[in-house]
Structure 1
Amino acid sequence: MTNTPQFSGRDLIVFDGSCVPCSGFFRFMLRHDRAGRFSFATAQSPLGQQLYRDLGLPSDDFETNLVIVYGQLHQRLDAFAVAMRALPRPWPVLSLCRFLPRRLKDALYFAIARNRYRLFGRQDSCPLPSPQIRARFAAGKL
């Protein structure tokens, strides 16, 4: 978890737009975040690229989604957990994964992340979202 003051008051999920499970996570969050708390950006977008570079993460191989809540940046399984905690019932129960030992969480996460294209395939393109969904995408620079 990293403090990112430039995001205070703005919750954001950055996901790999060509990754099938990552895009599935985006669609899940869009469907269940009825309050519209989260904005979204793909890792391939200018904002996503800037965040990955600023964090010293590869900007061409996205092994983690980024979730920013209350100005705090979360990665890997902790990102999933904090996103689940932000949703209405019953989804917060899934945030209990945050209590797993770090080594186990990272091992599980990276086992899937490093093999995600082989296991699930790759999306060639993102479908064009409706105007309501497009309004939830963060744009521009930090």
Structure 2
Amino acid sequence: MADDPVILFDAECVLCSANARFILRHDTAAYFRLASIQSVAGAAICRRHGVDPEDPTTLLLVEGARVRRDSDAILAIYQGLGFPWALAGVFRLIPAALRDPVYRWIARNRYRFFGKRQSCWVAPPEYRDRIL
């Protein structure tokens, strides 16, 4: 499990937390581990990869030495969930130079559009072994 990909997400963001729940429910192979950017482990990983945990502007997918962010991270995660979610990979046909500005616009406005939690989302007990 130490080599499993780690998804770092903003647990104060309603959209990000909903996405984390979705991933946990649909990752039947338990391939991904998740870490809140607000957690000690998540903040350390973020800093190591140049993301300010106090002002997260992206979701990160850390796969060993490889780090994906923005739309590449989202597409890699959904492809990792298998069929039918892997069909999202068709969006790779759109260049990242076009996908990422849309991702960043949503990320900048995520609290306004979807809301912000007063406390971080906590995973249900059945998923705790997959949370850092």
Alignment TM-score > 0.5, same fold: yes
Which residue type is aligned with residue 109 of structure 1? Y
Aligned to 1:23: 17
Q: Deviations over 1:92-116 (max 9, x none)?
A: 0112222322221111011101111
Pairing partner for 2:67 from 57, 67, 73: 73
Asked whether 1:136 is paired with 2:130, we answer yes
* Overall identity of the aligned pairs, in %: 36
Q: Is the 8 A contact 1:69 1:82 kept in 2?
A: no
Distance 1:70 1:97, change over 3 A: farther
Q: Deviations over 1:43-80 (max 9, x none)?
A: 00111111221122222111111112354211011001
Paired residues for 1:1-142 under 5 Å: 9-69=3-63, 71-138=65-132
Which residue type is aligned with residue 49 of structure 2? L
Query: Gaps (5+ residues) in structure 1?
Result: 1-6
Which residue type is aligned with residue 130 of structure 1? P
Q: Residue 128 of structure 1: CA displacement?
A: 4.1
Q: Is the 8 A contact 1:11 1:71 kept in 2?
A: no
More helix by share: 2
TM-score, length of structure 1 as denominator length:
0.84
Q: Residue 32 of structure 1: CA displacement?
A: 0.4
Query: Gaps (5+ residues) in structure 2?
Result: none
Number of residue equivalences: 132
Higher mean displacement: 64-73 or 23-32: 64-73
Which residue type is aligned with residue 133 of structure 1? Y
State the superposition RMSD in angstroms: 1.8
